[in-house]
């Protein structure tokens, strides 16, 4: 997808952001865990979430820009950012593909009823030669979140991703994650998670899965830092990866 098209998407969205969200709300992020939150940033808000993700095999700088169009809808632009393949002695570097998505908060939870969101996404082959995917790849995810006693939150996210192999053949893959978070007051939280970003047959690349844990802290209502550790659960997933990140809301 040409860069001018990506710019046009957000040039269209920004004028719609004419009113700020409630000033007393604390920032909510979709990192560092795999499971996204159902909540959106709110009308008139712009939020940038970025960080560094490193394993023995690779280093990336995943970034997500979120633009609130209404109180229940946001537009998103994301990428793995600058990439380094550490498994190759030549250490090739380049840029990852870009993805455009829309998040809709369909329902705000209450009691035993969860908050429900829907994320519709399309990844495009805009990256550098060594890191470019094959064509456009649509996907969707459904984040659900329950508020539990003792300041606990349970998140579940099923999803579907239509990938393409090197021959251009469509490959159907599933996605699933479940996370349990503990709020430590308004500013901080910790979490544990089981994540499977890719579920597919061995002939289509196989399944990746990890056990993740970490947490975050908000210095202000609009400034948040986080950290996470990912432990691979099979040979297709890096044995150990870690991430640190910063999120800012305007």
pLDDT (tens digit, 9 = 90+) per residue, 111-156? 889 999 999 999 999 999 999 999 999 999 999 999 999 999 999 9
Give 186-227 pLDDT, tens digit per residue: 999 999 999 999 999 998 889 999 999 999 999 999 999 999
Task: Note the pLDDT of residue 21.
Answer: 45
Q: Which is it for strands 98-107 and 137-141: parallel, antiparallel or unpaired?
A: unpaired
Task: Answer with the residue of higher pLDDT: 242 or 87.
Answer: 242
DSSP bridge partners of 89: none
- CA separation (Å) from 196 to 64, 171, 212, 233, 239? 20, 16, 11, 10, 14
Residue 16 has pLDDT above 90, yes or no: no
Task: Note the pLDDT of residue 156.
Answer: 98
Cα 204 to chain centroid distance, Å, stands at 23
Contact between 179 and 36 under an 8 Å Cβ cutoff? The reply is: no
Reported confidence tier of residue 17, pLDDT bands at 50, 70, 90? very low
DSSP bridge partners of 57: none
Cα gap 241→245, rounded to integer Å: 14
Extract the tokens encoding 92. Answer: 């090739």
The phi and psi torsions of 246 (rounded to 5 degrees) equal -135, 135
Reported confidence tier of residue 1, pLDDT bands at 50, 70, 90? very low
**First and final C-alpha spacing in the chain:** 27
Residues contacting residue 201 through CB under 8 Å, at least 6 positions apart: none
Instruction: List the one residue out of 23, 44, 61, 24 whose CA is nearest residue 246.
Output: 61
Extract the tokens encoding 199. Answer: 């579920």
Cα gap 194→232, rounded to integer Å: 10
DSSP bridge partners of 243: 53, 228
Tokens 């469509």 appear where?
A: 170
ω into 32 cis (within 30 of 0) = yes
Residues contacting residue 133 through CB under 8 Å, at least 6 positions apart: 97, 123, 125, 127, 163, 164
Contact between 29 and 37 under an 8 Å Cβ cutoff? The reply is: yes
């Amino acid at each position: 997808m040409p860069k001018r098209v990506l710019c046009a998407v957000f040039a269209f969205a920004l004028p719609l952001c004419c009113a700020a969200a409630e000033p007393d709300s604390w920032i909510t992020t979709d990192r560092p865990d795999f499971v996204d939150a159902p909540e959106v940033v709110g009308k008139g808000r712009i939020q940038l979430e970025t960080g560094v993700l490193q394993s023995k095999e690779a280093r990336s700088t995943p970034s997500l820009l979120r633009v609130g169009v209404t109180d229940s809808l946001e537009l998103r632009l994301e990428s793995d950012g600058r990439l380094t393949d550490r498994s190759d002695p030549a250490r090739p570097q380049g840029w990852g593909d870009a993805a455009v998505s829309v998040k809709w908060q369909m329902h705000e939870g209450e009691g035993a009823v969860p908050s429900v969101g829907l994320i519709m996404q399309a990844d495009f082959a805009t990256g550098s030669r060594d890191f470019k995917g094959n064509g456009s790849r649509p996907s969707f995810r459904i984040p659900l979140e329950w508020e539990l006693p003792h300041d606990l939150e349970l998140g579940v996210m099923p999803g579907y991703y239509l990938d393409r192999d090197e021959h251009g053949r469509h490959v159907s893959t599933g996605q699933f994650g479940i996370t349990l978070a503990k709020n430590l007051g308004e500013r901080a939280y910790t979490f544990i998670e089981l994540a499977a970003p890719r579920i597919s047959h061995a002939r289509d690349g196989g399944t990746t899965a990890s056990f993740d844990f970490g947490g975050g802290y908000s210095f202000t209502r609009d400034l948040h830092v986080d950290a996470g550790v990912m432990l691979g659960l099979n040979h297709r997933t890096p044995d150990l990866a870690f991430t640190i990140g910063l999120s800012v809301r305007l």
